[in-house]
């Protein structure tokens, strides 16, 4: 069994029957309209070293959309890039708020299928231990809860700002562009995102474009899980410029 098919099997094992609204990975990958996305998971790359020497930071926390996170990680890892999944440290809250965070959050973040919880995935570094200068690209996947938490993280916003200032690739998909807008990175740029966030992006000074992927300089944005193939391909193209 190839590494690609092993990764796909691992992804599909997180999907069980559910009465909750969710994104079905199996349905998404089997839809004819998503053949390019299916190929990312089923066809070995023509050049498994195309991104050798490139270092990519993926920022995510609890509530990240699983297929968006795993596709980004898989696409670049099987093509030779060194990829770090970077998350904020486990948060703590006063008792009166009532929020309880399990101990596993010290080393893992919780993924979702839209509303349904999916599973825990280990991260490589905490945001306070990562340095922007160590990376060639920065990627923010979506899932509404995930970017809503990341947009208030000062350290992650700062690394994204440093990335843009250094001319590095900065990318976000679905609700992920929320984080870019709150970091002040979309003002005067064309961008796209999950459709309901259009007023937020426009309020941050962006020109919203309803397209699968929008590239403005070194900033890449996309709308939704079914746009993952053009999203990662656009990032890859900029990495090899």
Q: Which helix (H) or strand (E) holds 120?
A: strand 116-122
Query: Is the predicted pLDDT of residue 10 greater than 80, yes or no?
Result: no
Q: What is the mean pLDDT of residues 187-210?
A: 98
For the chain, the maximum distance between any two Cα atoms, rounded to a whole number of angstroms, is 54
Q: Torsions phi, psi of 215, nearest 5?
A: -115, 120
- What pLDDT, on the 0 to 100 scale, is given for residue 90? 97
Q: What number of helices (H) and strands (E) belong to the chain? A: 9, 12
Query: What's the whole-model pTM score?
Result: 0.94
pLDDT tier at 19, thresholds 50, 70, 90: confident
Say how far apart CA 212 and CA 236 lie, in whole Å.
Answer: 16
Residues 6 or more apart whose Cβ sits within 8 Å of residue 135: 55, 56, 57, 84, 163, 168
* CA–CA gap between residue 14 and residue 95 (Å, rounded): 32
Q: Which range, of 3-17, 29-43, 139-153, 225-239, averages the lowest pLDDT?
A: 3-17
pLDDT on residue 17: 67
- Of these residues, 74, 108, 113, 174, which one is catalytic? 174
In the annotation, is 226 catalytic? Answer: no
- Enumerate the β-bridge partners of residue 59: 86
Catalytic residue among 74, 108, 113, 175: 175
- Tens of pLDDT, residues 105-115: 999 999 999 99
> What is the percent of the chain with per-residue pLDDT over 70, rounded to a whole number?
95
Q: Per DSSP, what are the bridge partners of residue 140?
A: 172
Q: Is 191 helix (H, G, I), strand (E, B) or coil?
A: strand
Known catalytic membership, residue 74: no
Q: Is the pLDDT of residue 95 over 60?
A: yes
d(CA 26, CA 240): 31
What integer is the mean pLDDT of 194-214? 97
Radius of gyration of the chain (CA): 17
Structural domains of the chain, with CATH: 23-239 (3.40.50.880)
The yes-or-no verdict on residue 139 having pLDDT over 70 is yes
């Amino acid at each position: 069994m190839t590494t690609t098919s092993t990764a796909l099997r691992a992804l599909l094992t997180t999907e069980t029957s559910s009465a909750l609204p969710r994104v079905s990975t199996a349905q998404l990958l089997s839809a004819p309209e998503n053949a390019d996305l299916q190929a990312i998971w089923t066809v070995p790359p023509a050049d498994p070293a195309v991104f050798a020497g490139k270092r990519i930071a993926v920022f995510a926390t609890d509530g990240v959309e699983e297929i968006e996170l795993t596709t980004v990680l898989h696409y670049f890892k099987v093509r030779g890039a060194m990829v770090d999944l970077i998350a904020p440290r486990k948060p703590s809250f006063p008792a009166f708020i009532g929020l309880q965070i399990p101990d596993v959050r010290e080393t893992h973040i919780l993924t979702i299928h839209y509303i349904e919880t999916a599973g825990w995935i280990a991260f490589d570094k905490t945001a306070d231990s990562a340095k922007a200068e160590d990376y060639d690209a920065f990627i923010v996947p979506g899932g509404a809860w995930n970017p809503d938490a990341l947009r208030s993280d000062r350290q992650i916003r700062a690394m994204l700002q440093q990335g843009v200032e250094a001319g590095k690739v900065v990318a976000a998909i679905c609700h992920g562009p929320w984080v870019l807008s709150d970091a002040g990175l979309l003002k005067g740029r064309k961008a796209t995102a999950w459709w309901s966030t259009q007023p937020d992006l426009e309020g941050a000074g962006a020109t919203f474009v309803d397209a699968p992927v929008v590239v403005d300089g070194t900033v890449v944005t996309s709308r939704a899980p079914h746009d993952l193939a053009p999203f990662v391909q656009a990032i890859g193209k900029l990495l090899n410029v």
